[in-house]
Amino acid sequence: MSVLPHGSPPTKVPGTLGQDYRPYSDQEFAAIVEALYRRQPLPQDLADPSPLAGVQSKIALTVLPDGRFAEPMNGAPTTHILKVPQERYELDAAREHVAMALSSDWFATASTALMEIAGIPVLLIERFDRK
- For residues 79 and 62, is the Cβ–Cβ distance under 8 A? yes
**pLDDT band at residue 54 using 50, 70 and 90 as cut-offs:** confident
Instruction: Please choose, from the candidates 40, 54, 41, 47, the residue with its C-alpha nearest in 3D space to the C-alpha of residue 24.
Output: 47
Distances (CA, A) of 75 to 13, 19, 21: 7, 11, 10
Whether 131 has a pLDDT exceeding 80, the answer reads no
- Report pLDDT digits (tens) over 78-94: 899 999 999 889 899 99
Q: Output b/e per residue, 34-59; b: 16+ Cβ within 10 A.
A: bbbbeeeebeeeeeebeeeeeebbbb
User: Averaging pLDDT over each range in 3-12, 52-61, 73-82, which range is the top one?
Assistant: 73-82
pLDDT value at position 55?
73
Q: What is the reported pLDDT for 61? A: 92
Residue 44 predicted with pLDDT over 90: no
Distance CA 126, CA 1 (A): 17
Q: Kindly list the structural domains of the chain, giving each domain's residue range(s) and its CATH number in brackets, ordered by start.
A: 19-126 (3.30.200)
Enter the pTM of the model.
Answer: 0.83
Q: What is the mean pLDDT of residues 64-69?
A: 94
Residues 88 and 14: their CA atoms lie apart, in Å, by 38
The pLDDT of residue 83 is 94
- Calpha distance 97→111 (Å, rounded): 9
